[in-house]
Amino acid sequence: MEKLVVKGPTPLKGEVTISGAKNAAVAILPATLLIDGVCTIENLPNISDIKISCEILRQLGAKITWNNEHSITIDTTNITTTKAPLDLTSKFRASYYIIGAMLGRKGEIEVGMPGGCKLGARPIDQHIKGFEMLGATVNLEKGTIYAKAKKLKAAPIYMDIVSVGATINVMLASVLAKGTTTIDNAAKEPHIVDVANFLNTMGADIRGAGTDVIKINGVEKLHGGCTYSVVPDQIEAGTFMLAAVATRGDLTLKNCITKHLESITAKIFEVGGNVEDNGDSIRVWCNKRPNNANIKTLPYPGFPTDLQPQMGVVLALANGTSVINESIWESRFQYTEELNKMGAKITAQGKTAFFEGVKKLYGAPVYSSDLRAGAALVIAGTAAEGETEIYNLEHIDRGYENIEEKFRKIGAKIERVKE
């Protein structure tokens, strides 16, 4: 077992290069199943979710060549089975994209129920509704999903809930379906636009991604022969922005799209931090104790749930009382118990948490309950006085590339230690 040992407090200072977006990459990789050919994907984050995605594709028959640790060439000419490896698909959430992509490619797929961070109930009813409206039958038996369609046919689909996964999955399934599919009440996250851009580069005809109505004009075939670079990770960028504020540091983040960071920038100004938008890089600094603020997480362009725990560290240290209302996931306050072990004063009740700001946090052994909770604990450990030990690193490694190396480069005293 491994743990991270962080000694603080350290104001983080310097430059960080942001990696490609996990949540775009985990959809773009299965999307390659829709192509009968070869393509190259660049700017992939070097994280465990990507390695598992590649292994699932390989077991379905794709040939994958690593060009370097951030780029693969993938040949999906011969997809040899419609049974996805159950042990691997149950390891992470985004394995549900295999369903949309394989319905489009083969009209059939057998896949394990998706796993991923335990954030409360994570139903996939909107995905299934979308597939059924496109003409598929979907059955769930003993933890395995069986989806089948003789021929997918375009349909108007209204999402009852704004869902990132369901929007992308229906987009994947409808790219090769005959006619025009409309997704109403679609999610608008940057990774949705990125997946649509990737598919359009390969010959799809998707319009309106990034708005709440997406139209997909079905095409006969997607072509290979293209190279695509994954969008920079909005959530990794936001994590470092909030790390700069929590540690009263000064960071410049390179390779980011500042437009995607507006809700975070607005909150940083509200708590008294500074943000300078330099086009494809952003500088964030803070030289005083943050002010209190209230947050409600919302689908994009609202404040992202995936930055709520990192913002929680800032508010735990703020001057005054703050309230966070988590409107997406029912169990995303597990990290608050860990911060309380470090001296924070947080009371979480259901989807609301009250933060009575403290002047200092103190190092303690803490456990990461999910990916973003883990990132929040790394920030907290860097801001805290003394030594923090962070356990359950498998969550962090799923979504952050070389987290300790990136933090070390900007001054953190952080080591990965084998127990």
Q: What sections of 282-370 are H helices per DSSP?
A: 308-316, 334-341
In the list 4, 6, 101, 117, the residue contacting ligand EPZ (rule: CB under 6 A) is 117
CA distances from 130 to 5, 125, 135, 138, 338 (A): 45, 9, 9, 10, 39
Binding mask 319-338 for ligand EPZ (x = CB under 6 A): ---------xx---------
Q: Is 395 in the site for ligand EPZ (CB under 6 A)?
A: no
Query: Cα angle at 297 between 6 and 248, to 5 degrees?
Result: 35
Binding mask 191-230 for ligand EPZ (x = CB under 6 A): ----------------------------------------
CA distances from 406 to 17, 69, 241, 336, 413 (A): 8, 16, 13, 24, 11
CB of 96 to ligand EPZ, least distance (A): 8
- 394 vs 392: CA distance, rounded Å: 6
Range 41-100, binding ligand EPZ (CB under 6 A): 93-94
Element spanning 229, H or E: strand 226-229
**Is the CA virtual torsion 93, 170, 400, 13 positive or negative?**
negative
Which of 118-126, 216-224, 245-253, 285-293 is the region at the interface with ligand EPZ (rule: CB under 6 A)?
118-126
CB of 45 to ligand EPZ, least distance (A): 11
Looking at beta carbons only, is 50 or 318 nearer to ligand EPZ? 50
- 188 vs 292: CA distance, rounded Å: 29
- 325 vs 294: CA distance, rounded Å: 8
- 354 vs 352: CA distance, rounded Å: 7
Exposed, middle or buried, 56 (CB in 10 Å: 0-12/13-18/19+)? buried
In the DSSP assignment, the letter for residue 318 is S
# residues near ligand EPZ by CB under 6 A = 25
HEC-encoded secondary structure of 31-97:
HHHHECCEEEEECCCCCHHHHHHHHHHHHHCCEEEEEECCEEEEECCCCCCCECCHHHHCCCHHHHH
Range 151-170, binding ligand EPZ (CB under 6 A): 161, 163-166
Which of 119-127, 221-229, 247-255, 334-342 is the region at the interface with ligand EPZ (rule: CB under 6 A)?
119-127
- For every residue of 110-156, DSSP letters joined together read EEEPP-----S----HHHHHHHHHTT-EEEEETTEEEEE-SS-B--E
Q: Is 371 in the site for ligand EPZ (CB under 6 A)?
A: yes
CB of 94 to ligand EPZ, least distance (A): 4
In the list 8, 11, 135, 399, the residue contacting ligand EPZ (rule: CB under 6 A) is 399
CB of 305 to ligand EPZ, least distance (A): 5
Q: Which residue's Cβ lies closest to ligand EPZ?
A: 165
CB of 188 to ligand EPZ, least distance (A): 11
Q: Is 127 in the site for ligand EPZ (CB under 6 A)?
A: yes
CB of 49 to ligand EPZ, least distance (A): 8
Which residue out of 39, 54, 117, 286 is catalytically annotated? Answer: 117
- Strand partners for 349: 352
Which of 125-133, 336-344, 349-357, 389-397 is the region at the interface with ligand EPZ (rule: CB under 6 A)?
125-133
**Is the CA virtual torsion 324, 330, 334, 340 positive or negative?**
positive
Answer whether 331's CB lies under 8 Å from 337's CB.
Answer: no
Q: Is 124 in the site for ligand EPZ (CB under 6 A)?
A: yes
- 16 vs 237: CA distance, rounded Å: 9
Q: Is 305 in the site for ligand EPZ (CB under 6 A)?
A: yes
Which of 37-45, 124-132, 241-249, 381-389 is the region at the interface with ligand EPZ (rule: CB under 6 A)?
124-132
Looking at beta carbons only, is 117 or 376 nearer to ligand EPZ? 117
Q: Which of 233, 232, 141, 218 is nearest to 173 (CA)?
A: 218
Q: Is 117 an annotated catalytic residue?
A: yes
- 89 vs 112: CA distance, rounded Å: 6
CB of 42 to ligand EPZ, least distance (A): 20
CB of 274 to ligand EPZ, least distance (A): 27
Residues, the chain: 419
Looking at beta carbons only, is 94 or 206 nearer to ligand EPZ? 94
Looking at beta carbons only, is 361 or 371 nearer to ligand EPZ? 371
Range 1-30, binding ligand EPZ (CB under 6 A): 23, 26
Q: Is 397 in the site for ligand EPZ (CB under 6 A)?
A: no
CB of 418 to ligand EPZ, least distance (A): 26
Active site residues: 117
Which spans of this chain sit near ligand EPZ (rule: CB under 6 A)? 23, 26, 93-94, 117, 121-127, 161, 163-166, 187, 305-306, 328-329, 371-372, 399
